[in-house]
Structure 1
Amino acid sequence: MTERNIRLVVAYDGTDFSGWQRQGPDRSVQGDIEDALFKMHKHPVQLIGSGRTDAGVHAIGQVANFITDISHIPAERFVPALNSILKRDVRILHAEEASLDFHARFDAKSRTYRYHIISGRHAMPHELRYAWQIWRQPNISCLNAYARLLIGETDCSLFASPRDPSLSRCRYISQARFFVAGTTLLFEITANAFLWKMVRSIVGSLLYYEERGYSVEQVQKLMNSRDHTLAGPTAPPEGLFLWNIDYYRM
């Protein structure tokens, strides 16, 4: 029996999920795809994701892999095969053969998230599943001045949930910026890894500091304090998308 390693790119609407990770009876993205793989294989198949997303968080470019013993299906045919089983809020966008030792999580070089904000206007009904509605127009130049403080090897304790189990709160952040696309304000951040709820805490905190007129120096002092109690409110999950994963190797 020949084993093959299949790499998937997955998109999903996280609204009705408990998150990416299978956990008990609650619906998860991992669980739905593993159930679809079970129907194809007639035995359990473990799906490895590049990282977890929380309840209500979406993905455009989640990456996952699984080992299959099915030899007669070309890798790309897993796309229509799985999509024919999965519900419409999970889509397999791409499938390809990877080396047997490829690991979607451990081989990831960086992860990019985008957070969507509807600011200063009424959101259309369908947008409210995918963006945070705020009722003012923030100062984007000020927000980007704060965001530049994040670049580099950064202690992110200010934005770390007390329940995060990570031994280190330092992360390497290669980009962090606010920009406007159409009528939506976006925050994009790329890092080697993220703490639990870190992106949502950054978004909520920077908007909180900007609304209150904090200087860049004040925000830097808050980051240096490493005190999560000084962070602003955490932004809600519906605006957050796992956007892209880059790899050292395929």
Structure 2
Amino acid sequence: MSLAYNGTPFHGWQCQPNAISVQEVLEEALATVLRIPIKITGAGRTDTGVHAKLMVAHFDADIPQKVYDNLVYLLNQYLKKEIVIHSIQKVKEDAHARFDALIRTYEYHIDVQKNPFSNGLSYVLKDSLDLSKMNEAADLIKTFKDFEAFSKTNTDVKTFFCEISHAEWVKKEGGYVFTITANRFLRNMVRAIVGTLLDVGTNKTSVAEVAEIIKSKQRSNAGFSVPAHGLYLTDIQYPNNIYIN
């Protein structure tokens, strides 16, 4: 299932007690439409306030063909405006939305002035930024594998190794966009990288110091975690052989 959502009203992707999540809303919608309990597994766990232009999730269910053919329409009729289902495709029984993902891409959006049309959808930063230095530091980051310095502390992961294939800042109308692609991301990793690169762009941190920050493996040495509302999950790619035509 491919979908998109505005993360503003949700406390992240994952179900949790006493807080509304994207996963909970989707499971409720599927259970209502299909009239059976449904559990879904997402490709990742976006934090509170983070948006997704493309999220992928999988679920197991025996669905009559007539219902399957109309499932996207039925779900979108039931769901509120913050979530939209793009498509639902049949996959092999052992296909997994999280573990089969080859690469993921995120964008971070910054506006240089207050904009009522992107309120809550981008980070407003009026500081002048040196994009050349920021992209030099972004290129440097790609040469490393261990990103513990950009990971949320006390996180339960077996390895801090990630392979970043793309990291770049570009100007947009009224601001900037940072795009980063990797085989996997750690919790809070993108927001910590963005905060560190903003320190480079405002001359608080040198490009050479970024290398030392990564080598230190200490989150306290990296930059601040930028606000969640500027972050978007934008792409997830899978091997073609998981799909059933």
Q: Fold-level match, TM-score > 0.5?
A: yes
Partner of 1:28: 21
Q: Which residue of 2 aligns with 1:16?
A: 9
Matched, 1:69 2:82: no
- Whether the aligned pair in 2 keeps the contact of 1:209 and 1:232 (CA below 8 Å) is no
Structure 1: state its 5+ residue gaps.
1-7
Extract unaligned runs of 5+ from structure 2: none
- Cα distance change on mapping 1:247 and 1:151 into 2, 3 Å: same
**Residue among 132, 137, 143 paired with 2:128:** 137
Q: Following TM superposition, by how much is the alpha carbon of 1:215 offset from its aligned partner in structure 2, in angstroms? A: 2.8
Mapping of 1:164-179 within 5 angstroms?
164-179=155-170
Alignment partner of 2:233: what SS? strand
Structure with the largest fraction of strand: 1
Q: Deviations over 1:118-166 (max 9, x none)?
A: 12xx221231211000012201111000001121451111111113211
The amino acid that maps onto 1:114 is: E
Q: CA RMSD in A?
A: 1.5
Q: Which residue of 2 aligns with 1:204?
A: 195
Which amino acid in structure 2 is aligned with residue 92 of structure 1?
Answer: I
Corresponding residue for residue 77 of structure 2 = 84
Q: TM-score, normalised by structure 1?
A: 0.92
Post-superposition shift, 1:212?
2.7
Matched, 1:154 2:145: yes
Contact 2:133 2:200 in 1 (8 A): no
Rounded to whole Å, the distance in 2 between the matches of 1:28 and 1:196 is 17
Secondary structure of the structure 2 residue equivalent to 1:154: coil
Deviation at 1:203, TM superposition (A): 0.5
Residue of structure 1 equivalent to 2:221: 230
CA offset at residue 72 of structure 1?
2.6
Aligned CA distance change for structure 1 residues 153 and 230 (closer, same or farther; 3 Å): closer
Percent identity over the alignment is 36
Does the 8 A contact of 2:128 with 2:202 survive in 1?
A: no
1:24 and 1:213, CA in 2 relative to 1: closer, same or farther beyond 3 A?
closer
| Alpha carbons 1:50, 1:62 under 8 Å: kept | yes
Normalising by the residue count of structure 2, what TM-score does the alignment of the two structures yield? 0.93
Maintained 8 Å contact 1:107/1:248 = yes
Give distance in 2, aligned partners of 1:188 and 1:40.
Answer: 36
Does the alignment pair 1:94 with 2:74?
no
Contact 1:76 1:94 in 2 (8 A): no
